Amino acid sequence: MTNNNANRQHRYVIIGAGMAGILAAIKLREAGKHNIRVYEKADRIGGTWRENTYPGLTCDVPSHSYTYSFAPNPEWSRHLPPGAEVQAYFESVVAKYNLEDIISFNEEITQCEFSDDQWRIKTSRGNSDCADFVIAATGVLHHPRIPRIEGMETFKGDIFHSARWDHSVALDNKRIAVVGTGSTGVQIVTALADRAANLCHYQRTPQWIMPVVNGVFSEEEKALFRNDPVALKGIQNDPELEANIERFSVAITEPDSAAMHEIENIVTQNLEQSISDPELREKLRPQYRAACKRLIYSENFYVAAQKSNVDILLEGVNKIEENGIRSADGTLREFDVIVLATGFEADRFMRPMTITGENGVTLEQAWSERPSAYMSVSIPDFPNFFMLNGPSGPVGNFSLIEIAEHQWHYISQLMALVENGECRKVSASQSALSKFDEARIAAAKKSIFGSGCQSWYLDAQGIPATWPWTRSQFKEAMQKPDFAAYCLG
């Protein structure tokens, strides 16, 4: 079927002005598309890097890898960049590509409905829009998971989630509790250990810690990167780093591989050699395999954990009172500040938006069992609607920027079918998704994420919600869509 409107300017709506939304806008412009609108629920770009401002915030992916391939950054200060620097990088890219004009800030999309080959959109400001294509770039870690803890509302000190940091609260010489020991909790404890009078780290489940040297790029190195594009590209595509990432992806997909045993040896040695007190060492020893939860990279968490003003408590938090936290054994520990580093509802994606595809199918119906998308980008019955960093994409200490760029390459070929007038709409077929999911789930159960621990990588049924094959297999899959897997209308 051909489309008479092949030559008209199609309209593209992008949901979210975080890393992936910025990418989509730049790529569309580059392809000569100018009818673009980005809706951003907040007042600034940046996504998770805007929302997280906690002390110690650091990206755990090397800076030159956590960079758009087309916008290298000679100014990165360190191997692992501080969060504020990542946010500043995204702001500089938005400025460089003049994207501000096409972003509607403080405007959340509340509803998207597909009818007459178009997406009818409503926003929180009462505006309507109409788009040929919707790109959902809503991110994964943006709905804080705030546990319901008995008595939480009675606490007289300050209590907040790590992604809602209250910078008006004094921290120096205070009694601070940090609840949770994901990357966030570990980074906060490391940063506050020198400042707090007393710091209690509530670890319901200890974590394996991968040692890392977070080296500084010298002024000479930065000058070289500024003046020599080849050197800058060289560090961005560092072959040694590339090989390590590939090896890591083999390790997580094949838990019995030599690559995984190597990781286990490193984290075990790190624990054995860094913690001198045998009792504390056993407290910090996880009872599950390394990398089952997202592996934590830290240069000096174990130094912080051994400070005299830091207590590691192997317990969750179930009762908060006016003055502090009451443990199951009856002990009350008093605090001025409680930080909930309790993670995110990673399965929300673009919800709570109401999204209705063809034949009145809602996203809630399509995702009643679990969030799923063919190749992580397309949902049956939701034509011309594509996701970046959607469900079952590669996660696990990879650069999500690189992942999104590969996904864009793939998505743009699907959109081209409509843009070139070969069809009016395109979405994955149900049978393709079922086959994909069956293979994906079988492989995911065998990955390290399915080896017996709780983590944000697991779906509600306890199955890893991730791309279960290697990174190079993902890159290959994103080269070109199998068009037979798609319904063209």
Which residues form the interface with ligand NA7 (CB under 6 A)?
A: 141, 147, 179-185, 202, 204-205, 294, 316-317, 341-344, 454, 456
Q: Closest distance between ligand NA7 and the C-beta of residue 341, in Å? A: 5
Q: For ligand NA7, which is the closer residue by CB, 331 or 420?
A: 331
* Contact call for residues 65 and 235 (beta carbons, < 8 A): no
Q: For ligand NA7, which is the closer residue by CB, 221 or 347?
A: 347
Q: For ligand NA7, which is the closer residue by CB, 153 or 220?
A: 153
Q: For ligand NA7, which is the closer residue by CB, 41 or 294?
A: 294
Rounded to a whole number of angstroms, the distance between the first and last alpha carbons of the chain is: 7
Q: Closest distance between ligand NA7 and the C-beta of residue 401, in Å? A: 13
Amino acid letter, residue 225: F
Q: Where are the alpha helices (DSSP H) in 275-397?
A: 278-283, 301-305, 363-366
DSSP one-letter string for 109-136: EEEEEEETTEEEEEETTS-EEEESEEEE
Q: Closest distance between ligand NA7 and the C-beta of residue 60, in Å? A: 6
Residue 355 φ then ψ, to 5°:
-125, 125
Q: For ligand NA7, which is the closer residue by CB, 430 or 455?
A: 455
Q: For ligand NA7, which is the closer residue by CB, 131 or 304?
A: 304
Q: For ligand NA7, which is the closer residue by CB, 280 or 488?
A: 280
Q: Closest distance between ligand NA7 and the C-beta of residue 183, in Å? A: 4
Q: Closest distance between ligand NA7 and the C-beta of residue 137, in Å? A: 17
- C-alpha–C-alpha distance, residues 15 and 21, integer Å: 7
Token pair listed for 317: 């938090």
Q: Closest distance between ligand NA7 and the C-beta of residue 331, in Å? A: 16
Which single residue brings its beta carbon nearest to ligand NA7?
182
Q: Return the exposure string of 421-451: e unless at least 16 CB atoms fall within 10 Å of the residue's CB, then b.
A: eebbbbbbbeebbeebbeebbebbeebbbbb
Q: Closest distance between ligand NA7 and the C-beta of residue 180, in Å? A: 3
Q: Closest distance between ligand NA7 and the C-beta of residue 319, in Å? A: 11
Phi-psi map region of 117: left, alpha, beta (phi>0 left; psi -120 to 50 alpha): left
Q: For ligand NA7, which is the closer residue by CB, 118 or 466?
A: 466
Q: For ligand NA7, which is the closer residue by CB, 325 or 428?
A: 325
Q: For ligand NA7, which is the closer residue by CB, 196 or 458?
A: 458
3-class state of residue 104 by DSSP: strand
* ω into 383 cis (within 30 of 0): no
Q: Closest distance between ligand NA7 and the C-beta of residue 292, in Å? A: 10
Closest-CA residue to 202 (of 306, 340, 343, 55): 340
Q: Closest distance between ligand NA7 and the C-beta of residue 343, in Å? A: 3
- C-alpha–C-alpha distance, residues 251 and 15, integer Å: 34
Q: Closest distance between ligand NA7 and the C-beta of residue 317, in Å? A: 5
- C-alpha–C-alpha distance, residues 160 and 171, integer Å: 13
- C-alpha–C-alpha distance, residues 402 and 270, integer Å: 29
Q: For ligand NA7, which is the closer residue by CB, 181 or 466?
A: 181
- For residue 138, give every residue at least 6 positions away whose Cβ sits within 8 Å of its Cβ, in sequence order, or none: 15, 16, 18, 349, 350
Strand pairing of 118-123 and 109-115?
antiparallel
CA dihedral 199, 206, 204, 333 (to 10 degrees): -20
According to DSSP, the residues that pair with 338 across neighbouring strands are 159, 177
